[in-house]
């Protein structure tokens, strides 16, 4: 399996953090610990079954989740 590393910054976003939070809070009730996913940096493809997706926020920590094919999910 090939590992890809994507690096991006909030300065790469089309909309600023305040605008994203304002939009999300108009639609959902945001609670402490909620994560707002904004997508991937330019040039990234989709996830591969079995791949682990690590999201690291400086000063906060890392969130790791395995990718699974839609047909293989347990409901």
- Would you place residue 75 in the very low, low, confident or very high pLDDT band (cuts 50, 70, 90)? low
Domain with 15, as residue range(s), is 10-72
Please state the domain count of the chain.
1
Residue 1 within a domain = no
pLDDT beyond 80 at 1: no
SS (H, E, C) the chain: CCCCCCCCCHHHCCCCHHHHHHHHHHHCCCCCCCCCCCCCCCCCCCCCCCCEEEEEECCCEEEEEECCCHHHCCC
54 within domain boundaries: yes
**Is 42 within 8 Å of 13 (Cβ atoms)?**
no
Question: The pTM is what?
Answer: 0.53
Is residue 28 domain-resident? yes
For 40-64, the pLDDT digits (tens) are: 766 666 778 888 888 888 888 998 9
| pLDDT (tens digit per residue) in 11-29 | 888 888 999 999 999 999 9
């Amino acid at each position: 399996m090939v590992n890809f590393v994507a690096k991006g910054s909030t300065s790469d976003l089309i909309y600023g953090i305040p605008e994203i939070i304002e939009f999300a809070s108009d639609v959902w009730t945001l609670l402490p610990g909620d994560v707002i996913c904004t997508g991937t940096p330019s040039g990234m493809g989709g996830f591969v079954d079995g791949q682990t997706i690590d999201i690291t926020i400086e000063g906060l920590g890392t969130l790791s989740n395995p990718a699974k094919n839609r047909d293989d999910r347990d409901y």
